[in-house]
Amino acid sequence: MANILCFHLYFFVLYTFLCQTPMGADNSGFTIQLIRHNSPNYSPFYKSDELHMHRLGSNGVFTRVTSNNGDYLMKLTLGTPPVDVYGLVDTGSDLVWAQCTPCQGCYRQKSPMFEPLRSNTYTPIPCDSEECNSLFGHSCSPQKLCAYSYAYADSSVTKGVLARETVTFSSTDGEPVVVGDIVFGCGHSNSGTFNENDMGIIGLGGGPLSLVSQFGNLYGSKRFSQCLVPFHADPHTLGTISFGDASDVSGEGVAATPLVSEEGQTPYLVTLEGISVGDTFVSFNSSEMLSKGNIMIDSGTPATYLPQEFYDRLVKELKVQSNMLPIDDDPDLGTQLCYRSETNLEGPILIAHFEGADVQLMPIQTFIPPKDGVFCFAMAGTTDGEYIFGNFAQSNVLIGFDLDRKTVSFKATDCSNQ
């Protein structure tokens, strides 16, 4: 994730938690299902006199995952005996890490931290190992262990020791599914824009230490897919993350665009040619030649960030095609495009034109409610040269990342029914 929790506009500091639950597991891969934080379906935040668990299918694995403020948290169960860790799902970074004891200078965490000394399967990685050398920012501790310092674009930082650990998933037949020797960071000093529900980050980028790459060695292919429920969907709705062969995106309506990222490179870069507002095409560049790989698909950033000049032209066309007057008298909303409405807008419909793939974006994916009776455009302009297709726009789209074929596939999907 390039910009973890970095969208500072007023209305994106609010709202939801989401949870996930892995569904089907076999030798070819497995699926993880996301659940709203207040959902009766496995959510650890749902308040009830009795926890009702129901089977998800024969031999399927499941786990819980949470999300807040537009980010998605996936549950990993680490160690022996197992400890539940909820980490931010991030396609813009590689490292899988959790806050570990002893933890000095760490952010406040609601749940107990992972205690490596209590795990029988925790194995620190030496500083002369291949895994250590593959991580930028590593060093050698006095004990000759692989010490790391891993930073994010929003200035969040995790520092700790690289280690191997066992990851356990529950299964619907009652038998645990154990994946051994997963490399992760045991963070002993962590700071940044985290909140008390975040216990770390699950890196799903293209680098060698990401969870995708590590699972690829187990399931024979480096690919995964995600289907995220919309930001303000019903709390009972579910979404999924699938790995290996279970992540195939196929059938009618699939469109694919080339991955511009090189092998082993973290970000998933694709080429956005422009965005249509209704029948009007707004180009990414008004005059310059279009650059390949000009935007990153990042599950760890809620909003979509576009070049300021492109964004301004896009907003201008949105205003032309809307039959409503934008809000201009609310200082809390700043300069973002917002409308007063009790329900989400009926239009206009946008189409993101990636190279070889057109992705339709309905208002539920492009307008977000910061407060009752207000909906605001979920995109922003930037001049820093880093452009991001955020997770608001990714919702209700089955997106497949295939690192072997170097493609990203899109299929319009009701992610609540996955």
Contacts of residue 233, defined as CB under 8 A and 6 or more positions apart, other chains included, come to 36, 364, 395, 416
Contacts of residue 273, defined as CB under 8 A and 6 or more positions apart, other chains included, come to 283, 284, 290, 353, 354, 355
Place of tokens 């605001």: 376
Tell me the C-alpha distance between 95 and 100, whole Å.
15
Give the residue among 239, 234, 274 at the shortest CA–CA distance from 357: 274
Any catalytic annotation for residue 298? yes
Catalytic residue among 154, 248, 298, 402: 298
Tell me the C-alpha distance between 357 and 408, whole Å.
9
Give the residue among 387, 13, 29 at the shortest CA–CA distance from 242: 29
Any catalytic annotation for residue 90? yes
Catalytic residue among 71, 90, 154, 198: 90
Contacts of residue 149, defined as CB under 8 A and 6 or more positions apart, other chains included, come to 137, 139, 157, 158, 159
Cα-based distances in Å from 147 to 43, 100, 125, 207: 35, 14, 9, 18
Place of tokens 């749940």: 111
Q: Is 396 exposed, middle or buried (0-12, 13-18, 19+ CB in 10 A)?
A: buried
Question: Active-site positions?
Answer: 90, 298
